[in-house]
Structure 1
Amino acid sequence: MLRIGNASGFYGDRFAAFREMLEQGPLDVLTGDYLAELTMLILARDRMKDPGLGYARTFLRQAEESLALALERGVRIVVNAGGLNPARLAAALAELADRQGLSARIAHVTGDDLLPRAAEFGRTDLLAANAYLGAGGIAACLTAGADVVVTGRVTDAALVVGPAMAHYGWGQGDLDALAGAVVAGHVLECGAQATGGNYAFFREHDITRPGFPIAEVYADGSSVITKHPGTGGAVTVETVTAQLLYETGGPRYLGPDVTARLDTVTLAEDGPDRVRIGGVRGEAPPATLKVGLNRLGGFRNEVVFVLTGLDIEAKADLVERQLTAELTDPPAEVRWTLVRTDRADADTEETASALLRLTVRDRDERRVGRAVTTAAVELALSGYPGFHVTAPPGPGSPYGVFESVAVDAKSVEHTAVLPDGTRLPIDAPAVTATTPDEAPELPALPRPLPEVPTRRAPLGLVVGARSGDKGGDANLGVWARSDAGWRWLAHTLTTDLLRELLPEAAELTLERHLLPNLRAVNFTLAGLLGEGVAAQARFDPQAKALGEWLRSRYVDIPEVLL
């Protein structure tokens, strides 16, 4: 059994978690996931200012206080904190080890940076272009004796799959084992989201300070998800289900090492704070790798007007007309959003107030900067009664655009740089799927519940949900809490009903996938997020709360479920 812990789910996660995971109990490997679509843009802008940057500097500070402890306890570290500059981070770690008098074998993985191939992608304005590498480079580094492995853009699950490959000697043909490790890696990748964080039924557990997750991975690829004893939060079938649904789509979960069949996953309680994952089937991976492209899309600005008391809509109309008249050269995109946070006969001024948000975007910074802020400020004494804004208007700020393309995996020079400096090429999988996007046979729907009395109530009383972003698309997973609930959910929550409950999705292309083993339906809402999180095209740009909005909507629910 190989114990793999996670201490970071994103760049900015709990700083102390790295040290705590080493101190709180035994581990064989400690991973940290620092990269996301938005993070790559942040790191690209860092690199523009200083070519020696481009990595997650937080990890270097964590290593300063934790590297000695990891070496003392024999815990190997695998992180993707290298971002756009894994070689520089590896060198900085070697310098740190020398300063502390430590003997650390440090390796890194490279080859994901495809920015020199920008013209191939039809763009000359890219800030970053990175292929999502698999786990082979990590495995090679660990097999060569590395204590620390730093990567750039690999798949999040690769941080778990790589150590398991090295430990058990799996090859490219061990598809079921690899798929099981991918599922375990997906559960771990977002840190405390597997132990009660962002969990729909959070009131059932103490998540004041949840611990971080651990996967006990076995030779056949099965695993047990748990956490260190005495740490906060909870590991249950439902917390693991929630994370499995996060940022996934259909039954086939494509990856560079294997395609994991999410419709084969089984979950079972294995004791307090222990959930066993088994049954995972794997198929050959696609012949291509996903490449994330980041570029600047233009500039944006935002002003939020506070409207208090009576005549809210008339006040909103007045300020919109006044400001529109002042913008003689208006930005390319102007959006007004009235958020009715006000209440009638309110006993505080804040609860008597609504917010009117003005968002502007343009390729020309001048059109969203002083021209907008000056026009807004000049209305202060000539506008609606009670005029004020939530913050002083500022200059425009750049926004990013993320998109993805596919390239032949064999055209990417995936390389493991071993502790002694040897550069070891990592071969792409020899056997790949010819139709990786072909949907598997649809599972049969469960028997519907018989006709029973219903009551109109919030959907979230009987189902959980977890949502997130994939580029410009949103993912929304919904699961039932019982077999009876699944029989109702599978027949009730159709794409048509979802359009009614979430009017923002009414005109979008929606996909619905059934995952009976998880008692879940998983939706993809194409284009809900525009050009991705960095473009901030929506109030909730990463769709983090989309599931909670759905759970708050009223539907007719069988009383037997309530």
Structure 2
Amino acid sequence: MATPGSTEPVRIANCSGFYGDRLDGAREMVDGGDIDVLTGDWLAELTMYVLSRTKARRADGGYARTFVAQMHQVLTTCLDRGIKVVSNAGGLDPHGCAEAVREAARAAGREVSVAVVDGDDLIDRLEVLTAAGHSLSNIDTGEPLGDVVDRVVTANAYLGCWGIVEALDAGADVVVTGRVTDAAVVMGPAAWHHGWARDDWDALAGAVAAGHVIECGAQATGGNYSFFTELPGMAEGLLPGFPWAEIAADGSSVIGKHDGTAGGVTVGTVTSQLVYEIGGPVYANPDVMSRFDTTVVTQEGPDRVRLSGTVGLPAPPTAKVAINYHGGYRNSMAVGLCGLDIEAKAELVTNQLWATVPGGRDAFDDTETRLVRTDSPDATGNEAATAWLRVTVWDDEEKQAGRSFSGAATQLALSSIPGFYASTPPGSASAFGVYWPALIPASLVSQRVTLGDRTWEVPMPGATSPEVGVAGDGPASAPQPVSDAGPAMTQPASDGAAAGSDRSPRIAPPDLASLIGARSGDKGGSANVGLFARSDEAWSWLREWLTTDRLRTLAPAETDGLAVHRYEFDNLLAVNFVIVGLLGRGVAQNSRQDTQAKSLGEFVRSRIIHEATMGQEQS
């Protein structure tokens, strides 16, 4: 049982990495072994937009109802065993979520003390903030929020851990929050249990590292892992167990999972998660700036990995605000192009489409035509000989982007290229949101804790920080969003010892595919690709060989015309790239097949292996 002021480690479990994760996760973690705190992550940038649309249709649509379903399964056991529960599933309606948890307890004949941490929702303050001179400029592009303020559907500041700490200190059994950082649900219980002060920077930074590792659930235990074939049970189709972090009084931790569950906790699985959705070495959080370039990752035993040495810097003076506004409506069509004359076929379909749609291309606010060459010139099967033409339209008017577009595409079926077929049936347009990250002074945000009939405010740590520039992934006027953990940091990009070198690898390990792993993901309109080595020799080679210029050569379609930042993490044997703007205006708006860039890392990894191997053969 977690107790305030204890010097004993506290075991904090994760049971959800996103809204839609496995429903049996909470039961697995509560029934499968000893834990002190049950946490999970239900929110993402896209999730907030989805919740806004659900809430518009029904009153109870503003929170993650799957969390409440899990509480029906495990709440009684948690109360009996003194397991605290901390969840960000409150989303846009944390008070409604808290009441649903109380109802779950009453249905089981129990009473539960549920606290709410909010204050993150700024949507009703946007006009006041902009009138006061806060432009809420997009930290990717520098554009002021300006004319789209009346289209905003969500605006939430990322809160930190101290509201959670005070809620637990006041006796809450369950803490339901709005938009806190992903790591905060882990940091809060650790800081409460150990009695950390707000300026225990290194301890807090260690908890951020642990929270970042376990917040995506099974991604820390073998999910989405480059070397999945090495992990027990995965080949047989078993799902990897959820992770826990056992956090010590100094902020160091041991990452593990319940014994007997599939997957694994290794230096590789943990490193994969450490380089996931980050930018430079300094990972920003409202409570502390964590230097991931100081984190030491050590295998302590089977399915036990220690994180230690993470250095913390004072909290930043700014708070990140995640804004979503209604961008309009989108529709897409995809036509298969098989066999010969692929480019000529694509040109014919495109020209016919715009000639058939009333008003043509100019009838829409925006359009995109993309030819995806998945075909092989010497294919042994029909599908392997097929490329895809994808056409997407965006417009403010639902009707304009709807059947008038998709119906016109269907009309081409018997009048176009040989072998015409489409994978997208005629359909209506779908609404899309635009993600808009911004920064405001931390002093303008205050966490609010409600427990019973009492409500009180908890200031953000950065509210009293000096107004000085903070380092990050870009110029101070437009810092890049390195994570959803809070305000971004800027730091000059390093291109390695051999920047711009076109030489073949001087030393290429003989089995490179088994020594270089990858993990990638989305961060607003940008994408990150983290590559890590599993030996010192492989790292020495990777660090020298994989320059920014070479990444552009390996992934020309993904990097063309875009800024690319490169960062080295010697302690993790890893290099991280941030491709700025690859995902347009965010997950909900962009038309890529993989809208979240989850597969980008594996693509780059395959290209690295291929080119390095070819380089060896030719040298």
Which interval holds the TM-score relative to the shorter structure?
Answer: over 0.9
Any idea what the Cα deviations from partners look like across 1:148-206, whole Å, max 9, x if unmatched?
Answer: 11001000000000001110111111111000001100001100000011111112113
- Select which of 396, 416, 441 maps to 1:383: 416
Corresponding position: 1:476 with 2:529 = yes
Residues 26, 70 of structure 2: 8 Å contact kept: yes
Superposition map of 1:77-116 within 5 A: 77-116=85-124
Cα deviation, 1:371-391, whole Å, max 9, x if unaligned, reads: 112211211222223322113
Number of the residue aligned with 2:201: 175
Matched, 1:546 2:579: no
**Deviation at 1:324?**
1.4
Equivalences for 1:113-512 in 2 at 5 Å? 113-119=121-127, 120=130, 121=136, 122=146, 123-206=149-232, 207=234, 208-329=238-359, 330=361, 331-344=364-377, 346=379, 348-418=381-451, 420-429=452-461, 432=465, 434-437=468-471, 460-503=513-556, 504-512=558-566
Instruction: String of CA shifts for 1:366-412, please: whole Å, max 9, x gaps.
Output: 33212112211211222223322113110111111001111121211
Report the alpha carbon displacement of residue 462 of structure 1 after superposing the two structures with TM. Answer: 3.5
Give, in whole Å, the separation in 2 of the partners of 1:440 and 1:334. 35
Alpha carbons 2:402, 2:428 under 8 Å: kept: yes
Aligned partners of 1:110 and 1:415 also within 8 Å: yes
| Counterpart Cα distance in 2 of 1:415 and 1:87 | 12
Are 2:42 and 1:9 equivalent residues in the alignment?
no
Greater Cα shift, 200-209 or 217-226? 200-209
Partner deviation per Cα, 1:74-117 (whole Å, 9 max, x = no partner): 21111100000001110111122112211211111010000012
Match of 1:37 in 2: 45
For 2:155 and 2:442, the matched residues in 1 are separated by: 15
Which shifted more, 426-435 or 523-532?
426-435
Supply the distance in 2 between the matched residues of 1:524 and 1:88 (Cα, whole angstroms).
Answer: 38
For 2:592 and 2:522, the matched residues in 1 are separated by: 12
Secondary structure of 2:246 counterpart = strand
Return the offset for 1:428.
Answer: 2.1
Cα deviation for residue 34 of structure 1 reads 0.2
Q: Number of aligned pairs? A: 559
> Which one-letter code corresponds to 1:468 in the other structure?
G
CA shift for structure 1 position 456: 11
TM-score normalised by the chain length of structure 2:
0.86
Distance 1:210 1:282, change over 3 A: same
Question: Bigger CA drift: 127-136 or 383-392?
Answer: 383-392
Is 136-145 or 311-320 further displaced after alignment?
A: 311-320
Read off the aligned partner of 1:110 and give its amino acid letter: D
Inter-partner Cα distance in structure 1 for 2:80 and 2:44 = 31
Q: Which sits farther off after the overlay, 395-404 or 316-325?
A: 316-325
Shift of 1:452: 7.7
Is the 2:335–2:389 contact (alpha carbons within 8 Å) kept by the matching residues of 1?
yes
Partner of 2:575: 521
Of stretches 266-275 and 366-375 in structure 1, the one that deviates more from structure 2 is 366-375
User: Once the 2 structures are TM-superposed, how far is the Cα of residue 447 of structure 1 from its aligned partner?
Assistant: 11
* Whole-angstrom distance in 2 between the partners of 1:409 and 1:136: 14
The letter of the residue matching 1:50 is R
**5 Å matches for 1:7-86?**
7-86=15-94
AA paired with 1:141? Answer: A
3-state SS in 2 of match to 1:316: helix
Q: Which amino acid aligns with 1:377?
A: T
Moved more, 498-507 or 274-283: 498-507
Q: Tell me how far 1:26 sits from its aligned partner.
A: 0.5
Q: CA offset at residue 251 of structure 1? A: 1.2
Cα separation, 2, equivalents of 1:383 and 1:111: 56
- Give the secondary-structure state (helix, strand or coil) at the position aligned to 1:424: strand
Contact 1:8 1:14 in 2 (8 A): yes
1:531 to 585, 588, 597: 585
Q: Secondary structure at the match of 1:484?
A: helix
C-alpha distance in 2, partners of 1:468/1:282? 25
Name the residue aligned to 2:5.
Answer: none
Mark the runs of 5 or more structure 1 residues left unpaired by the alignment.
none
Does structure 2 retain, via aligned residues, the 8 Å contact 1:299–1:365? yes
- Change in Cα spacing, 1:45 to 1:459, as seen in structure 2 (3 Å) is farther
Gaps of 5+ in 2: 1-8, 131-135, 137-145, 473-489
Output the TM-score relative to the length of structure 1. Answer: 0.94
Q: Is the 8 A contact 1:31 1:78 kept in 2?
A: yes
Residues 269 and 559 from structure 1, CA distance in 2 versus in 1: closer, same or farther, beyond 3 angstroms? farther
Give distance in 1, aligned partners of 2:376 and 2:282.
47
AA aligned opposite 2:369: W
Amino acid of the residue matched to residue 170 of structure 2?
Answer: A
CA 1:498 to 1:377, structure 2 compared with 1: closer, same or farther past 3 Å?
same
Secondary structure in structure 2 of the residue aligned to 1:391? coil
Equivalent AA in structure 1 for residue 402 of structure 2: G
Aligned-residue offset at 1:441: 9.3
Q: Is the 8 A contact 2:516 2:531 kept in 1?
A: yes
1:421 to partner: Cα distance: 2.8
What is the alpha-carbon distance in structure 2 between the residues aligned to residue 416 and residue 468 of structure 1? 32
Q: Confirm or deny: 8 A CA contact 2:493 2:565 kept in the other structure.
A: no
Q: 1:459, 1:550 within 8 Å by CA — same for their partners in 2?
A: no
Rounded Cα–Cα distance in structure 1 between residues aligned with 2:369 and 2:515: 35
Q: Determine helix, strand or coil for the equivalent of 1:124.
A: helix
Deviation at 1:347?
5.1
Shift of 1:143: 1.1
Query: How far off is 1:520 after superposition?
Result: 0.8
Cα pair distance change 1:510/1:442, threshold 3 Å: closer
Kindly, what percent of the aligned residue pairs are identical? 50
C-alpha separation in 2, matches of 1:298 and 1:431 = 40
**2:612 equivalent among 535, 556, 559:** 556
Question: Structure 2 vs 1, CA of residues 337 and 105 (structure 1 numbering), >3 Å: closer, same or farther?
Answer: same
| DSSP-derived class of the 1:464 partner | strand
